[in-house]
Structure 1
Amino acid sequence: MGRNLKSTHKKFKKEAKKTLYKGLDTKKRKLEPRLTYLEELSSHLSLPPDIIAGAPIITAYGRNEICIENYKGIIEYNDKLVKVQAKSCKICIEGRALNILYFTEDEMKVTGYIKAIYYQ
């Protein structure tokens, strides 16, 4: 009866560690921005995202004219800054002698010397 039993737990643990996580990538990856439900739906239906999701469309004609479509409202407007609320962000246009040539319910045209267009 004096058998000496040796535990194999440490050996098993060492071997399991090598094989358990073998198939997994344990290095940290950069997270890519996730698509919204409507953006994903539009890609599956092969439709432009602006149609389904109401994404803003900004068309620049040189440095002197911009057309913005699918906006909700004007937040701020003066000769140096035009700030517009879109569905998912704010669109800011900076420049000199800026003027809103016309605006309708979903489209506007801004003229003047445009220095920058950015999103907030």
Structure 2
Amino acid sequence: MEQKIKSNHKRFKKKQEKAIYSKFENKSKDRIELEKQSYLESLSENLKLPADLLMGVPVLTVTGSSQLCLENYKGIIEYTGEIIRIQTKKCRIHIEGKNLNIDYFTDDEMRISGKIMRIEYC
């Protein structure tokens, strides 16, 4: 009579998965995002790369109160002569003023002109 050998592979694999991912189960999404962001910041410092390149943060260049260049944006939410709302990867940017105009925009950069009175990150 032959003796059958039963494999423990599935049970072992399941047990190891629980052990590997257990430290992530107790963390909230906000905490994981915060750790990911701090990791990317330290990585950009060590590699001597700009943070906007790795993290996708928006870059605003303001010239006086009449011109603004914005890089790394996703889309335009609202556009009037008094307010422009823009969605970026990390936040929303509200630009308030008078006679605001988007001079040009490409896939990742735009220029806004007019009397800029307020810039708010939401």
Who is 1:31 aligned against? none
C-alpha distance in 2, partners of 1:45/1:104? 28
Unaligned runs of 5+ in 2: 1-33
C-alpha distance in 2, partners of 1:93/1:39? 27
C-alpha distance in 2, partners of 1:39/1:62? 29
Task: Count residues with an aligned counterpart.
Answer: 87
Unaligned runs of 5+ in 1: 1-33
C-alpha distance in 2, partners of 1:72/1:41? 24
Larger radius of gyration: 1
The residue correspondences of 1:74-89 to structure 2 (distance < 5 A) are: 74-89=76-91
* Higher helix proportion (structure 1 or 2): 2
Shift of 1:44: 2.1
Shift of 1:110: 0.4
Alpha-carbon RMSD: 1.2
Is residue 2:103 matched to residue 1:105? no
- After superposing on structure 2, the runs of 4+ consecutive aligned residues of structure 1 that deviate more than 6 Å are none
Partner secondary structure for residue 52 of structure 1? helix
Scaled by the length of structure 1, the TM-score of the pair is: 0.69
C-alpha distance in 1, partners of 2:99/2:88? 23
Identity %: 49
